[in-house]
Amino acid sequence: MTPAVRFQKVSRHFGAVRAVDGVDLDVASGEFFAMLGPSGSGKTTCLRLIAGFEQPTAGSIEIFGERAEGVPPYRRNVNTVFQDYALFPHLNILDNVAYGLMVKGISKTDRYKEAEKALELVKLPGYGSRKPSQLSGGQRQRVALARALVNKPKVLLLDEPLGALDLKLREQMQEELKSLQRALGITFVFVTHDQGEALSMADRVAVFNNGGIVQQGTPQEIYRRPKTRFVADFVGSSNLLSPDLMASLGGERRWASLRPEAVRVASEGAEAVVENVSFLGAGTRLAVELGSARLHVMLPAGADVPDVGTPIRLSWNSQDIHYMDDAA
């Protein structure tokens, strides 16, 4: 099937700054795709390249099989939801949502009907006559979403759309966005620096660093089989085991990652000393010293918790040791 978005060796340099550098990317039609990475890694520039607010300095971009270069943003069948929502403060909610249809010359009756439908979709029916200032942050976020959805884009670009919300609301909106995307079947491309958000919502994730994609895959692949130390460290809370430690444990002399929840306290295994115990509700996290390394161990709720300072033994399944591609 033709991908919704295809990047081939796409770069966007600003003078000496390589904001995006040689990115290859396929976003499948109907997919929830997350671009994940630290600040300055090039995610937003990629999104702006898809939207048409930026032009590549090299490479090619296709949207549903058509070359996008030279096609202005409003002709791309793509809409963006920005982090600051960019609502018009002087217009009421209905007019904010209907704005894109007004620009397209749709009649007042029709555009209000569509705007009402979009407000229902984001669970804000009846809020049309309010002004943006009379809504909560979460409600404004929903209006921004309705305003993009009313244009029935084939691709919806979301740039940290939940960044301004508090944790609880953000978690609620993550679930709502995911259900909405599933129900509408629209391709979502979502930018975030929050690994939990990317893993919980996306069908596939691209991890960015320094203007390039370091790994792409399903959340499970990225989490369980990170290719590099950067990915292991950025996604989830991995234990990174040095080549020396791996060799001393009888493994290969290479960097490896081991997830805290894959480590067990056992009667036999590597000797370690408990340095810290943190109760996290759903489980208990131990910080332990293993040789000269400090590891985290995630114990499930109900497990016996050793005291700080006690020697313990650790074991894990060999398939949970995952070697990195990094040169030593």
Report if residue 239 touches ligand ATP, rule: CB under 6 A: no
Judged by CB under 6 A, the residue of 17, 58, 103, 303 near ligand ATP is 17
Report if residue 84 touches ligand ATP, rule: CB under 6 A: no
Q: Are 285 and 299 in contact (CB under 8 A)?
A: yes
- Phi–psi pair at 313, nearest 5 degrees: -120, 140
Q: How far apart are the first and last CA of the chain?
A: 40
Q: Return the closest-CA partner of residue 287 out of 314, 269, 254, 318.
A: 314
Report if residue 41 touches ligand ATP, rule: CB under 6 A: yes
Judged by CB under 6 A, the residue of 44, 174, 187, 215 near ligand ATP is 44
- Toward ligand ATP, which CB reaches closer, 43 or 227? 43
Report if residue 283 touches ligand ATP, rule: CB under 6 A: no
Report if residue 14 touches ligand ATP, rule: CB under 6 A: yes
Report if residue 74 touches ligand ATP, rule: CB under 6 A: no
**Exposed, middle or buried: residue 219 (CB in 10 Å: 0-12, 13-18, 19+)?**
buried
Judged by CB under 6 A, the residue of 37, 100, 219, 306 near ligand ATP is 37
The nearest distance, CB 130 to ligand ATP, in angstroms, is 30
The nearest distance, CB 281 to ligand ATP, in angstroms, is 29
In degrees, rounded to 5, the angle at the alpha carbon of residue 266 between the alpha carbons of residues 261 and 267 is 175
- Toward ligand ATP, which CB reaches closer, 44 or 284? 44
The nearest distance, CB 10 to ligand ATP, in angstroms, is 12
Judged by CB under 6 A, the residue of 11, 31, 33, 45 near ligand ATP is 45
| CA gap 73, 62 in Å, rounded | 13
Per-residue x/- marks for ligand ATP, 180-219, CB under 6 A? -------------x--------------------------
Distance of CA 84 to the CA centre of its chain: 18
- Toward ligand ATP, which CB reaches closer, 36 or 258? 36
The nearest distance, CB 54 to ligand ATP, in angstroms, is 8
The nearest distance, CB 193 to ligand ATP, in angstroms, is 5
Judged by CB under 6 A, the residue of 39, 292, 317, 319 near ligand ATP is 39
- Toward ligand ATP, which CB reaches closer, 57 or 242? 57
**Distances in Å between the alpha carbon of 51 and those of 25, 184, 195, 200?**
15, 20, 23, 25
Q: Which positions touch ligand ATP (CB under 6 A)?
A: 14, 17, 19, 37, 39-45, 193
